[in-house]
Homo-oligomer: A and B are copies of this chain.
Amino acid sequence: MNKDITNRDVDFAQWYTDVCQKADLVDYSSVKGSMIIRPLGYAIWEEMVKVLDQKFKETNHENVQMPMFIPESLLNKEKEHVKGFAPEVAWVTYGGNEKLDERLCIRPTSEVLFCEHFKKIIKSYRDLPLLYNQWCTIVRWEKTTRPFLRSREILWQEGHTMHTTEEEARKETLQMLDIYKKFQEEYLAIPVITGKKTNKEKFAGAEETYTIEAMMYDGYALQNGTSHYFGTHFTKAFDILFLNKDNILEYPYQTSWGVTTRMIGGLIMVHSDDNGLVLPPKIAPWKVIIIPIGNVDEPLKELENTLKENNITYKVDLSNKTPGFKFAEAEVKGYPLRIELGERDFKNKEVTIVRRDTLEKIKVSFKDTLDTILKLLKQMQTDMFNKALERRNKMIYSVNTYEELKDVAQKKAGFIKINWCGSEECENKIKDDTTMKTRCLIEDEEVDNCCVVCGKKAITKVYIGKQY
């Protein structure tokens, strides 16, 4: 246990802040609500970007860059959209010393900018589909902020696509949801639940919003990505039309989808512990840290060469701190494997490898180092996912009465599965009584009781949970 890090089971919020700071992921600045992402935090983001960007390109998406400003009149074009976002945008009113004729908001999301551009470049079905993505920063003027989870500036990607048919657009929405799900499960080792948001919880302007819901160590939900089907809401508002194959003008069908640096917050709150950060090997920028102890120049060189040849990223701690201090620092920063390369051990042709997730110490003969590293990295990735999955599954509850719901909501952390009539009234009542919100509809389970709130006929099952 790291003495600078609050115990996770005692004060989860403080523990989270401690890990963010002690692992040198972020720093605060004099700009309220905006964080500084430090080298390790940004390197994790770069790994995420690398994998996702490749997946987007493999599925024929192209990157573009839109302006960061939206004129007020443009934001106002789609009514639901502006209602959802206007209260939380930052407004630019001066350029240099001159007051602007029209104020500009900094994009909270870029639907209206993409629509304006699409209107200019879409003429016929031959121009479709348009499969665009952009990596950028958005701004939402949040009142309370926390590193990675909720900040005024957010690094993210936003995909925006246009299609000739509803079917194709719906397929795109689900394809991107699936890419997010696989990425989070395979790379971040975070088991996720995906499904449709209720009408109340969907994106301002969307016809349907699909969400990625992850459960944190404390049982709270983190909405860790969304994929929206817009239908023709925006294309009608912007009067975007294309000539179809029969030479008839039609509105195209639209999607958008995004994930953010919030995923780093999710990584921390699912995997990290009282010693600091724990990173799944597949997303860790450096898989291995080598800590040489004593005179080990020769085996160090050999080990480095082996790692380089096998494209295993690593760092070497050559500082003049004590081994104990270096071990603790390697732990707090979450290197998946720590290799203690000691002079004495090496005389016996051995090295010690320590797994970050279990802190298990493994002594292996020097010649088996590479094989062991490869095996452990793979094992660790699987183990971390399974551990998170098992914990999450234990924290999903079913209830049959509203009393039971309130009782579980009060006494236990986690998600609750309920039968629901579909009314916003019942949704609101749950929120007022328990602070729990609906996470997403459950599509693969049949309704098996009345609505847990009003007792009327249920139309679907739904997950509810407290959220970040």
**What is A's interface to B at a CB cutoff of 8 Å?**
27, 29-31, 34-39, 42-43, 45-46, 62-71, 74, 86-97, 103-104, 106, 113, 116-117, 120-121, 126, 132, 136-137, 139, 141, 152-153, 155, 319
B90 touches A137 (CB 8 A): no
A104 shortest CB reach to chain B, Å: 7
Task: Give bound CA distance, A35 to B66, whole Å.
Answer: 7
Determine whether the beta carbon of A93 is less than 8 Å from that of B91.
Answer: yes
A87 contacts B97, CB within 8 Å? yes
- Complex CA–CA separation, A461 to B132 (angstroms): 50
A64: chain B residues at CB < 8 Å are: 36-39, 42
Check if A66 sits within 8 Å of B29, measured CB to CB: yes
Q: Which residue of B63, B67, B74, B152 contacts A39 across the interface (Cβ within 8 Å)?
A: B63
Q: Which B residues are in CB contact (< 8 Å) with A94? A: 90-91, 93, 103
Residues in chain B near residue A36, CB distance under 8 A: 64-67, 113, 117
Contacting residues, chain B, for A62 (C-beta < 8 A): 39, 42-43
Residue from A34, A67, A152 whose CB has the most chain B CB atoms within 10 Å: A67
Tell me which residues across on chain B come within 8 A of A65, comparing CB atoms: 36-37, 42, 45, 155
Q: What residues of chain B lie closer than 8 Å to A93, measured between beta carbons?
A: 91-94
Chain B residues with CB under 8 A of A42: 62-65
Residues of chain B lying within 8 A (CB to CB) of residue A95? 89-91, 141, 152
Chain B residues, Cβ within 8 Å of A34: 67-69
| CB <8 Å contact, B96 and A30 | no
Chain B's nearest CB lies how many Å from the CB of A214?
Answer: 23
The answer to whether residues A70 and B31 also contact, given A64-B37, A93-B91 and a CB cut-off of 8 A, is yes
Do A141 and B96 touch across chains, with their CB atoms under 8 A apart?
yes
Neighbouring B residues of A152 by C-beta, 8 Å: 95
Give the chain B neighbours of A69 by CB distance below 8 A.
31, 34, 153
Across the A-B interface, the 7 shortest Cβ-Cβ residue pairs: A34-B67, A95-B141, A39-B62, A91-B94, A37-B65, A31-B67, A93-B93
CA distance A97 to B91 in the complex (A): 9
User: Quick check: B31 and A71 within 8 Å, CB to CB?
Assistant: yes
Residue numbers in B under 8 Å from A87 (CB-CB): 96-97
Do A68 and B153 form a contact, CB below 8 Å, given A92-B92, A92-B106, A96-B88? yes
Residue of B nearest to A97 (CB): B87
Residues of B within 8 A of A141 (CB): 95-96
With contacts A31-B69, A91-B93, A95-B152 known, what are 20 further pairs, Cβ within 8 A?
A29-B66, A29-B67, A30-B74, A31-B70, A31-B71, A34-B68, A36-B64, A37-B64, A39-B62, A39-B132, A42-B63, A43-B63, A45-B65, A46-B63, A90-B94, A91-B95, A92-B92, A93-B94, A95-B141, A136-B137
Which chain B residue has the least Cβ–Cβ distance from A34? Answer: B67
